[in-house]
Amino acid sequence: MPRRLLLLSSILLGLPAMAMAQSATNWVPEQNRGAAEADAAGIDDVIGLLNAALTAIRANRRSQAVEFMERAEARLLTRSTPVLQAGSPVQGGIVGRIGNARRAALAENNVLARKEIAAALAALNRPRPAGR
């Protein structure tokens, strides 16, 4: 009996992972297409990437929008970071806004995605205080 229970529980525990793998597999061709479209755009700066993401969201091109947002996040995250902060994940600020926008786009919540991108762009365009 314990052996059957162990077998049954391992099968049941594996079902969500199999479902997640299937949904990830369905996303790959769309993600590859979005990456190719982003490559073709040739945009390299954060503001340009976020503006391109907004355009893609308005045109209902989710995979392309997500790709542009991921590239914008990567640009911001690869900047120099003080050693004491290097091990801490960036959760707020501009990177947090872009992450929120990316998750919203993936959930097909274009209104929230546009709002978060606009907030990130506003923060990027805000002048820095003197002395910093």
115-125 as b/e: b if 16+ CB within 10 A: ebbebbbeeee
Enumerate the domain spans of the chain.
Answer: 2-125
Where residue 63 falls (left for φ over 0; alpha for ψ -120 to 50; beta otherwise) is: alpha
- Compute the average pLDDT of residues 72-77: 88
% of the chain beyond a pLDDT of 70: 54
In the predicted structure, residue 89 carries a pLDDT above the cut 60: no
Instruction: Say if residues 95 and 77 touch (Cβ distance below 8 Å).
Output: yes
* pLDDT, tens digit, 9 for 90 and up, residues 7-29: 555 565 655 555 555 554 555 66
Which of 86 and 113 is assigned the larger pLDDT?
A: 113
Q: Which two tokens stand for residue 33?
A: 């297409």
What lies within 8 Å, CB to CB, of 115 at 6+ separation is 101
